[in-house]
Structure 1
Amino acid sequence: MLYLYFSFAVFLSTPVLGQMATFLAYDAICGDANCPLSSLACSDGSNGLESKGYTTFSSFPNFPYLGGAPTIANWNDANCGKCYAITYAKNTINVLALDVSKDGFTVAPQAMNVLTNRQASALGRVEVTATEVPASECGL
């Protein structure tokens, strides 16, 4: 089984009131609607999302607002499927955690463009604040 692990440097602070300072970057793989869930850490197992009927990125109602999260350490992690409100400047998007991303959040270029006012390519990686929110905020 192939797991997609994204890498960018991260500096997580101690969570305060459910928030964490971290980084966010984009990866084109996260924007591929046909990417199979089976290639991710949150595919199967007791915490996997395939058993809930999800098969590809486009099968999630919040696509392209999904990707890797620093809270997911490995396959079948208890944090699979958690939703995070990610804030940069005055913009916020909700991101569904589906894979390991040890160096901050990794999302689709489309999602980062919304968050950064179409500056994803120019910025590459940004410092953000992440707050866990109910999974319903990500359409689950």
Structure 2
Amino acid sequence: MQFTSTFFALFATVAFTVAQPPAPGALNFDTLYDNPKGTLGSTACSADVGILKGHTTFGSIPNFPHIAGSFLIEGFNSTRCGACYELLYNRADGKQVVIPFTIINTAPAPSFVSSLQGVTDLTGLNRDQFPGDAVISFKEVPSIDCGF
């Protein structure tokens, strides 16, 4: 009986996560997140717990360089550390690009701050073309989408 209730609770969580509509946000970059040897010890998600347990560097995160700080992480050891969010960007050519990012640090609301490579992969813009804050949409997705 416990298996059945656990299964339905998990199914409801996944169904809710997938069903939620994207929310508006902003994206910027910090080249700090481009360093594969950068340590999680320098972030709000440094407690070595939850889904990030055993990951000590940015490069050890399965979907590096698609990592980001986010306003969704309230502070040290947030329960959202390691959560996976799809970031959606509408490029000038009309193409919508969607990439899952693992959140590992705090950022000002309503922003995500990623590696320069992550921003380039999502927007198609290089450092010189980047406008400052890119308008994005985001939604939480299952951690498997980020390689966990």
TM-score computed with the length of structure 1 as normaliser: 0.81
Cα deviation, 1:75-127, whole Å, max 9, x if unaligned, reads: 01111110000001011111100000123000000010011113444222201
Q: How does 1:58-97 map to 2 (within 5 A)?
A: 58-89=59-90, 90-97=96-103
Q: Percent identity at matched positions? A: 30
- Measure how far apart 1:65 and its partner are: 0.2
Counterparts in 2 of 1:14-53, with a 5 A limit?
17-44=20-47, 46-47=49-50, 49=52, 52-53=53-54
Structure 2: which 5+ runs fail to align? 1-18, 91-95
3-state SS, counterpart of residue 84 of structure 1: strand
Higher helix share: 2
Q: Supply the RMSD in Å over aligned alpha carbons.
A: 1.8
Alignment partners' CA distance in 1, 2:69 and 2:36: 15
Q: Residue type matched to 1:25 in 2?
A: N
**Aligned length, in residue pairs:** 123
**SS of residue in 2 equivalent to 1:118:** coil
For the residues of structure 2 that align with 1:40 and 1:77, how far apart are their CA atoms?
11
1:80, 1:108 → 2: CA distance?
A: 17
* Distance (whole Å) between structure 2 residues aligned to residue 102 and residue 79 of structure 1: 15
Alpha-carbon shift at residue 19 of structure 1 (Å): 2.3
Aligned to 1:117: 124
